[in-house]
Amino acid sequence: MDKIIIEGGKRLSGTIPVSGAKNAALTLLPCALLTDEPLTLRNLPRLADIDGFQHLMNQFGISTMIAGSRPEDFGRVMTLQATRITSSVAPYDLVRKMRASILVLGPMLARMGEATVSLPGGCAIGNRPIDLHLKALEALGAQIELAAGYVRAIAPDGGLPGGRYSFPVVSVGATENALMAAVTARGKSTLHNAAREPEIVDLCKLLVAMGAEIEGIGTSDLVIHGVPRLHGATYMVMPDRIEAGSYACAAAITGGEVTLKGARIEEMEATVQALRDAGVAIEPVAGGLKVASDGKLRPVTLSTAPYPGFATDMQAQLMALVCRAEGSSVLTETIFENRYMHVPELNRMGARIETKGRTAIVHGVEKLTGAEVMATDLRASMSLVIAGLAAEGETQVHRLYHLDRGYERLEEKLALVGAQIERVGSD
């Protein structure tokens, strides 16, 4: 199994291109199920999760074609066409590795009138039930059955009638599934307390480009007027705000100056504010964001929250950053209850972090020291890379399959700006 070796202490300087957003792409790909015409997605990142989702779409009989052999600044281009869907079952062996597979449930139900999906897998970062997905689909008129580890959703004859659902708590995935199910319903659907993440906006924009009628895009109240059919489209995936935030942390912890090409400040305001609070300078420049730090970091106090709050997907990376702050930071995780598995690994590198329930207290230290560490989930793996960039000596990060799920060409991008980093095969 591969590992990454980092020789820390190198100041990052230069330009890093930001890839297409993983979390957006995984939501846009299943939209191909909603039409028999071609859907072309541009700026797709080359990631294990994208490849896995492509295989899942092939399982349904959907043709996929990728243009070009190497991702450049504008990523890969994939054309999907669901002329004829040959299976409405998403099997366990494909779904178990990737939680996003549950996002085929809504569009498959809308297109075929039924869908059977294995209960999903993904990162082990706490309890992430899909009950809100199922309740939202029931509110739109679906009948839901659970048996033998599978969810089966069935629409009445003539398709989903549409309906009204108010999410008791904000759920990104459930909002996405309900949106895709509602766009071809027979009537109007209303979603209250819907998620507002930029990735939700990206999904709405694609659906509108395909002929959907959606009101309230970007707000917590979405009104969807069902249309008889959707058509094909060509669409550019938004830049990855989590990747951009991660590289901003990497630049800051090394006292570096990096331009994040393609990043959009308006989609990552909470991350930008947290970094500014920590003493990092971030300013929009033509075509991206400029991040600069003198290495003198201040402690922060914040809680994760649904958008527009501070993203849970940035918590581990910010924690790594404030390990080097002059003082104690307090981070509270409100989204997932088991998202501090990176803490013992950071402590192995000399960090001083204590956890009390959902709160982590990070006491800044003068230096971090390289060590062998183990990635426990996607964002935790990036936190270890960030710490390794600033640590004295060599850091070895194991279990790279987590990292490969969400960061495209990570070693290449960091090496471009001066990091001493390489991927090698384990003994």
> What Rg value do the Cα atoms of the chain yield, rounded?
21
Q: Does the annotation mark 123 as catalytic?
A: yes
The dihedral built from the CA positions of residue 400, 405, 408 and 410, taken in this order, carries a sign that is: negative
**58 is an annotated ligand-binding site residue:** no
**Helix%, strand%, coil% for the chain, nearest 5:** 35, 30, 40
Measure the CA–CA gap between 78 and 73, rounded to whole angstroms.
15
How far CA 212 is from CA of 182, 226, 328, in Å, comes to 9, 7, 49
**221 is an annotated ligand-binding site residue:** no
**84 is an annotated ligand-binding site residue:** no
Q: Integer distance in angstroms from the first to the last C-alpha of the chain?
A: 8
**96 is an annotated ligand-binding site residue:** no
How far CA 364 is from CA of 152, 268, 329, 372, in Å, comes to 49, 25, 8, 21
**265 is an annotated ligand-binding site residue:** no
- Helix 378-390 to helix 241-253 angle, to the nearest 10 degrees? 20
Of 59, 36, 192, 34, give the one whose Cα is nearest residue 118. 59
**130 is an annotated ligand-binding site residue:** yes
Kindly name the residue from 123, 204, 249, 323 that is annotated as catalytic: 123
Measure the CA–CA gap between 326 and 53, rounded to whole angstroms.
43
Report the half-sphere exposure of 81 (CA within 13 A, side-chain side). Answer: 7
Instruction: Enumerate the known binding-site residues for UDP-N-acetyl-alpha-D-glucosamine.
Output: 99, 128-132, 313, 335
Instruction: Enumerate the known binding-site residues for phosphoenolpyruvate.
Output: 22-23
Instruction: Enumerate the known binding-site residues.
Output: 22-23, 99, 128-132, 313, 335
Residues assigned a catalytic role: 123
